[in-house]
Amino acid sequence: DVRHGPILYLEDVNVSFDGFKAINNLNLTIDDGELRCIIGPNGAGKTTMMDIITGKTRPDTGSVWFGSRHNLLTKSEPDIASLGIGRKFQKPTVFEALTVFENLELAMATDKRILPTLTAIMKPEFRDRIDEVLEMIGLKQLRDKPAGILSHGQKQWLEIGMLLMQKPRLLLVDEPVAGMTEQEMERTAELLTSLAGKQSVVVVEHDMGFVRSIARQVTVLHQGSVLAEGTMDQVSNDPEVIKVYLGE
């Protein structure tokens, strides 16, 4: 087993928007190398939780740690990103006029750690990383095609690839299979499960079939707190979870 203790640790986190408690004493631990799915009805606080991890939303109280060394509440959004936390939003935002290869190259170049030496992107090790990522996301055959011709699913994988260029330690993925065909969903399941172990992956997803196909551990959020945690079989048989989903 590749796990070595928590990579992400949220303790007693609270967030209110104009007096409304969007996050209510949230406690969450993600182990290193884990693939975790977060589910829950609309308004459960899933997006707000992701925003807290990336530093977009600041909690009123509580603690948020990345590994044992980084208190994320003291860090800016760009600093949190450069610690190795990548976020994939639902809508793909690839550069359609650029080739698949150039999109990946650009993902590397926008890394401020290498910006001072722009010629560095020509370095063989970066080319190697692009090849490695192309292999991971299954777009090797399309490397020289403009991203604009890719299918919806392929664009999503390219965007995950762009995040992977910088070898993040934690990937946050927002509804990865929305709008995908059955086949694309299967390919996405393979991709995300292959990433786990090398990095930690947290997926917010509504499609229960997809969640069942990838997750070993599922966290159910409800009214800003953890309602249940366990395997998909455990949480889907939990009376509290059934009540929340059927009562929606």
Task: Between 42 and 74, name the residue whose CB sits nearer to ligand ADP.
Answer: 42
Residue among 72 and 130 whose Cβ is closer to ligand ADP: 72
At closest approach, how far in Å is the CB of 189 from ligand ADP? 22
Q: Is the dihedral of CA 119, 124, 128, 129 positive or negative?
A: negative
Least distance in angstroms from the C-beta of 153 to ligand ADP: 23
State the Cα–Cα distance between residues 37 and 215, nearest whole angstrom.
6
Contact residues for ligand ADP, defined by CB under 6 A: 17, 20, 22, 40, 42-48
Which residue lies nearer to ligand ADP by CB, 41 or 230?
41
Sheet holding 35-39, edge to edge: 85-88, 170-174, 200-204, 35-39, 217-222, 225-230
**Closer to ligand ADP by Cβ: residue 17 or 89:** 17
Q: Which is nearer to ligand ADP, 52 or 164 (CB)?
A: 52
Q: Where are the beta strands (DSSP E) in 169-231?
A: 170-174, 200-204, 217-222, 225-230
Shortest distance, position 20 Cβ to ligand ADP, whole Å: 6
Measured CA to CA, the distance from residue 7 to residue 199 in angstroms comes to 10
Cβ 129 to ligand ADP shortest distance, Å:
33
Cα–Cα dist 54/78, whole Å? 9
Query: At a CB cut-off of 8 Å and minimum separation 6, what does 178 contact?
Result: 90, 206, 207
**What is the smallest separation between the CB atom of 29 and ligand ADP, expressed in angstroms?**
19
